[in-house]
Structure 1
Amino acid sequence: MLQKTLKKWLNQFKQYFFTYSDGFYHLPYSSKSPQALVDSFANYPFIKHNKVKQSIFANTPFCEGGFNYQELEEGLWVIYSKMKYKTNVAFDLVYDNPEEMKMEDKGYYMLSLNNVTNKAVIETDICEKQLCFSNYSWTFFKPKERNCDLNFKGANNKYITLYFNEEWLQKNLVQNSLFSEAGLNKFISSDEPYIAWPLNENEEVVKNFNIFDEVMNMNNEASHIDFLQFKLCTLNLIFDFLKICIDQQVIEKHFAIDYKDKFSINKVENYLTSNLYDKFPGIDWLAEKFKISESKLKSEFKQFFGKPIYKYFQEKQMLLAKELIIENKLLIKEISYKLGYENTSKFTAAFKKYHGILPSELQKQEFEIAV
């Protein structure tokens, strides 16, 4: 049975069979349509597909987790995925036979709210808590555009993705005044392939992960799905995106990052959060190591993660420093040294600027709580 399943999968994707390059296992999936996407994952080995609950679960050498899917109405699907990664995995969007696709098959737009949570590499002998860093973002892809989701080993990632075709877009969104006010009509008619926009974790839209946990019955706590509530939440998610595009002038400020550069930018971010016990290595050193120009590294990192690269690194160091103080296994002077600061006073100033409290005051508070 397993051999038959493997053969079927290999035949379907023989020209796209998973490969290993750039430190990632590349796994293909079809996005000619949401149904094709579901079918392509369902045909992977070691996959459980529950057609009644419309869910897929995977436990493979690559990852563990899955997704729930629903067709809310003709031309509109929602897929909510949650996955933990055992190794570096890149999901590559492919079309089964792009040269043979019908002219009238225009494909699907993909609007996704993303939560990527990576583990920080920390010495467990001085910090027992597992420290994770979450990044939130929107992505909006036009049909048939190349896409690749990068997932690092140890990551716990969540994606709420809406798929809608051209007919649904024209009927339900294009005529809405918010759509044009957000500048999305200009984006649709432009040559830009996609929008990727960072979000802060305290933005209201982030609450949609908890909302969709409930309305899509991700935890199997309800006997059935309330489709009216589900549709309402889906429409609210779309309007959240439109409002952010207006409030943050997304279309005016956004620029698309090249497919290859996207790999480099993500690898830079992962390298930084895996090497917090050191000084910032420098833009020039990072650019040379990850084969990207300094100007691109600076502009594209900020575009992708919402902050200048050094500020991003320093903020992650300050989060780590707080955990080290709470663990109370190192002196403040030792923490300062471990994080690459020249002297304790500079570390103390940086810590207070970010956390609003001196390291010594936090240490005292933690001691009083312990007593």
Structure 2
Amino acid sequence: MNIKLSKWFQFVKPNLKFYNNGFFEFPFLANTPELFIESTIKSPGSKHFIEDQVVYRNNPFVKGEMRYRKIEEDLWLTITSVEFKHNALIKSVYDKNIPSDHYTITFTVFESEIKLQNVFIDKMPFYNKFWSFKKPGTDVGASFYKGSKCEFYIFYINPSWLEKQIPLDKLDAKIPFKMFLDSDKGFISYQDIVPNAEVLAQEILHTLKTFKDDIFSETILKAQSLTLISSFFKNVFEDLRRENYQDKGKIDYKLISKCESIIASNLSSQFIGIDVLAQKLHVSSTKLKKDFKSVYGTSILQYVIDKKMHLAMQLILTTDMQIKYIGNEVGYDSPSKFSAAFKKKYQKLPSDLRPENSMD
């Protein structure tokens, strides 16, 4: 074992379960953005370029890079692009002796490989986007399967900064997000809730990559970040999910993340059912349903349907597969039921997008 790897193991050893239930587990210190960055710098196979504020990583488990920047006082940004070489669970841990006083807003774009049953197209990339908001000190994790390619845009926001920028005190107490903030729950997730988020995020990434080329980069980055953050909050405030956040009870966010990963990797099969899913995760069906809805704002069944329709849309737009076979690929034996589910999601029939390729 080389010296760098040995030091990294010593750094994370108190929280490291190296291989557990089919996933390699990797903790990072999440008390502050500085500690998160240090965790990345000290991970195996990392090369840190201080002047460019970028860390490149290539080890037996992941390959990619992380860029970081302090935008202004109490506001940091990290952008991580990574490809997973093995199944991995990335999880937050906290040093109890260090204050944890940052909210995090994360925009994730990831590409995974979906296995299909089609003879000519046996697999295809599946693109997914979601947002999350985490309170300080919340223990979370995210599961990723081998081959997944991900981009994580993470804003670290001190509550005092947030109070200056966002009028949280003026929010109606009955708005779901305000109810979440006032509850004991620590983490909430949203599916692709911000229009054009990926375009805005890519502009921010370009600014970081070319930061030294423009004397206005600092001003541009601040403006771009405020645009994306304010767009997130504007859309979150309008979200009308129904959830009783006053219910007490701890949520295992790592388990809910693994539940989502199982769903996402099996979209071309019939849904295994909530009871079987709960058995796989060693939790009761009742708690799984309740906690999943608390985090994702929708039932497990509706989440499965939404993702299947998203996969169907990608197959319609990016392949020549006949629509009747696309319905089969997302688990529908009945063409009419597939068309009805698709129209409910997108207000269009599959044949409206492929008029020359009907269900007949």
- TM norm structure 1: 0.78
Give the counterpart letter for 2:213 in structure 1: S
Aligned to 2:303: 312
Aligned to 2:213: 223
- Report deviation, 1:237: 3.5
Give the counterpart letter for 1:140 in structure 2: K
Aligned to 1:243: 234
> In the alignment, is the contact (CA less than 8 A) between 1:77 and 1:162 conserved in 2?
yes
What is the number of residues matched between the two proteins? Answer: 350
The yes-or-no answer on 1:210 pairing with 2:199 is: no
Q: Which moved more, 1:53-62 or 1:230-239?
A: 230-239
**Taking every aligned residue pair, what percent have the same amino acid on both sides?**
25
Q: Which moved more, 1:22-31 or 1:274-283?
A: 274-283
How far apart, in 1, do the equivalents of 2:166 and 2:343 lie? 45
How far apart, in 2, do the equivalents of 1:338 and 1:185 lie? 40
Aligned to 1:125: 119
How far apart, in 2, do the equivalents of 1:308 and 1:157 lie? 25
Aligned to 1:92: 91
Calculate the aligned-residue CA RMSD, in Å.
Answer: 3.6
Aligned with 2:71: secondary structure? strand
How far apart, in 1, do the equivalents of 2:166 and 2:258 lie? 39
The match for 2:149 among 153, 156, 165 is 156
Measured against aligned partners, the alpha-carbon deviations of 1:237-281 in whole angstroms (never above 9, x if no partner) come to: 443344334322679765798453x33433333333333344333
How far apart, in 2, do the equivalents of 1:323 and 1:125 lie? 18
- Report deviation, 1:115: 1.6
Measured against aligned partners, the alpha-carbon deviations of 1:318-347 in whole angstroms (never above 9, x if no partner) come to: 444456667456682x55555554544433
Give the counterpart letter for 2:114 in structure 1: A
Aligned to 1:275: 266
How far apart, in 2, do the equivalents of 1:280 and 1:6 lie? 41
Q: Where does structure 2 lack aligned partners over 5 or more consecutive residues?
A: none
Aligned with 2:257: secondary structure? helix
Q: How does 1:260-299 map to 2 (within 5 A)?
A: 260=252, 262-299=253-290
Aligned with 1:365: secondary structure? coil
Aligned to 1:139: 133
- TM norm structure 2: 0.80
How far apart, in 1, do the equivalents of 2:357 and 2:122 lie? 16
The yes-or-no answer on 1:5 pairing with 2:20 is: no
- Report deviation, 1:129: 6.4
Q: Where does structure 1 lack aligned partners over 5 or more consecutive residues?
A: none
Give the counterpart letter for 2:105 in structure 1: S
1:364/1:27 CA distance change after superposition, 3 Å = same
The match for 2:190 among 188, 198, 202 is 198
Q: Which moved more, 1:350-359 or 1:57-66?
A: 350-359
